[in-house]
Structure 1
Amino acid sequence: MEKTLIKGLDVLEALALSEQPRGVTELAGELGLTKSNVHRLLQTLVHRGFARQDSEAERYSCTLRLWELGAMIAERVELAQVAQSFMRELSEQTQETIHLSILDGAEVLYVAKIDSPQPVRAYTKVGGRAPAQCVATGKAQLAYVPDEQLEPLFPRLEKYTPRSLSSLSALRTELAKVRTQGYAVNRGEWRETVCGLASPIFDASRKVVAAIGISGPIDRLTPAVLRDFAPRVQAGARSLSREMGYAG
């Protein structure tokens, strides 16, 4: 195991469990570390935003960064639990694989899924990732990312299939269409034989927090079938958004 990481986590845990700011000497004594080691670890935690230093008293305490990370994880768990009934309903209506994903930088992270009952189906796994610009749940969320943040996310667009978007201008055009119609489409842009459709999920603060969508073989989810399924996916996303407190 990485000893430096373990020591850093020990220091962070000691700060989190303490009701008062802690000094280097007392932390070193409590944890059985040298003062120089504790000082270096604390400076790293301060640099990364997990701790703050009282410069006059030379004492340290936790910031809210741990709470922020924990709240993000709790929100994902809550969202996945709330979404189950809506995902089941969509699964029964479409007989296709249903995904719930969140945006993590330039990728989507799948947090829940229901497999299609059909023998030929789209393959993904909970905890798996996909390039956001290539899949429907990714584009549904990217459509609400501020425009000035897109270029840092996508300094270049990798082509996974001949249908992948190849430029930032093409992506911007696609995302504008998503905002207008209320759903996004993947036309075999990540895996050539798989396509899908998804709509964004909003929370009480009108922020997009996830997307729900369907995916399946491209020869089964034809453009006509996707158009037929679009209102059902949108309805599921709207219902789930209301459950998350969205009043729009």
Structure 2
Amino acid sequence: MPPETRADDDKARVQSVERATALLRAVARATGPDARVRELAAVTGLNRVTAWRILRTLEGQGMVHLDPHTRQYAIGTTVVELARSAPAQTWTSRAHDVLQTLSLQTRETTALALCEARDLRYVDQVDSPGSDEESWLGTSAEPMHATSTGKVFLAYAGRPAAALLAEPLERFTDTTITALPALEEELAVVRRQGYALCRGEFSEATWGVAAPLLGEDQRLLGVLSCWGPATRGEPERFAALGSLVRDTARRLVTA
């Protein structure tokens, strides 16, 4: 590139955008304590105040998510929404079509939730044919101990449930698991079979099945789920639906 062209190119750049992009990339790569302001500032060569101001702005736009307990940053749902619209065939861009197919196969509502530090947030949902389901988009996948999506998160979080939940666990229905030892036993089953079940544990009127979306390093990226009314939640359906959702989740991230 000729010197004059390079100079013109430098003048056309916006420094604040470059800094914000550098911080986004740093957040995406960081784990644990490395995802805090001081460490993110150091790795991007910014002073702490500048990094904090940019991160606050990015957080306000949903580009990053700040865990209020650990003060660690993670990529936000806005980035995921942008990635989903990209032409590149990433698994996030394919997810909506997969949800639609899974909904048609099961005749139930399907959803995608992505990890945000110590939380999960729903970013896509396809309602069952002919239904008028409540939208969960943008909401957190709580309560963790009483939903299939939450159980998957707890099972693959890499930490004991006791580190993420506090007893007593809230009871929502007669089938809600309220003791941590019993929940840990359930999570061991989730890891063994590759999917989680919810049998009216949050709402007596609803059942659910969910499976993990795991990266190459087996880190949890998100959760694929399927749910419907209890009137269609026959016990004999669970094994077949669990296997279907599990296998669909695996194909989504590896295709």
TM-score bin (small chain): 0.5 to 0.7
1:210 pairs with one of 222, 233, 241: 222
Structure 1 range deviating more: 68-77 or 83-92: 68-77
1:37-63 superposed Cα distances (whole Å, 9 cap, x missing partner)? xxxxxxxxxx9548859xxxx995427
Residues 183 and 241 (structure 1), Cα distance of their counterparts in 2 relative to 1, 3 Å cut: same
Q: How many residues align?
A: 197
The question of whether the paired residues in 1 share the 8 Å contact of 2:148 and 2:196 is answered with: yes
1:87 pairs with one of 65, 78, 99: 99
Residue matched to 2:165: 154
Q: Which amino acid aligns with 2:159?
A: D
1-structure distance, mates of 2:15, 2:224: 39
Residue matched to 1:173: 185
The question of whether the paired residues in 1 share the 8 Å contact of 2:114 and 2:123 is answered with: yes
1:163 pairs with one of 157, 175, 178: 175
The question of whether the paired residues in 1 share the 8 Å contact of 2:195 and 2:243 is answered with: no
The question of whether the paired residues in 1 share the 8 Å contact of 2:173 and 2:203 is answered with: yes
Structure 1 range deviating more: 63-72 or 103-112: 63-72
1:72 pairs with one of 71, 75, 82: 75
1:11-36 superposed Cα distances (whole Å, 9 cap, x missing partner)? xxx994698xxxxxxxxxxxxxxxxx
Q: Which has the higher contact order (CA 8 A, sep 6+)?
A: 1
User: Any stretches of 5+ residues in structure 1 without a counterpart?
Assistant: 1-13, 20-46, 244-248
2-structure distance, mates of 1:167, 1:16: 49
Residue matched to 1:109: 121
Identity %: 28
Residue matched to 1:128: 139
1-structure distance, mates of 2:138, 2:121: 6
The question of whether the paired residues in 2 share the 8 Å contact of 1:136 and 1:197 is answered with: yes
2-structure distance, mates of 1:160, 1:199: 22
1:63-117 superposed Cα distances (whole Å, 9 cap, x missing partner)? 7984893871366333653211211111111010001113456654211100011
2:233 pairs with one of 207, 221, 235: 221
1-structure distance, mates of 2:225, 2:149: 6
Residue matched to 1:40: none
2-structure distance, mates of 1:191, 1:173: 21
Shift in Å at residue 147 of structure 1? 3.1
Residue matched to 1:137: 149
2-structure distance, mates of 1:59, 1:198: 40
Q: Which amino acid aligns with 1:127?
A: G
Secondary structure of the residue aligned to 1:147 is coil
- RMSD over aligned Cα atoms: 3.4
Alignment of 1:1-16 (within 5 A): 16=16
Query: Is the radius of gyration larger for structure 1 or structure 2?
Result: 1
1-structure distance, mates of 2:157, 2:229: 29
Residue matched to 1:11: none
1-structure distance, mates of 2:41, 2:114: 30
Q: Which amino acid aligns with 1:155?
A: A
Shift in Å at residue 125 of structure 1? 2.2
**What is the TM-score normalised by the length of structure 2?**
0.66
**What is the TM-score normalised by the length of structure 1?**
0.67
The question of whether the paired residues in 2 share the 8 Å contact of 1:16 and 1:62 is answered with: no
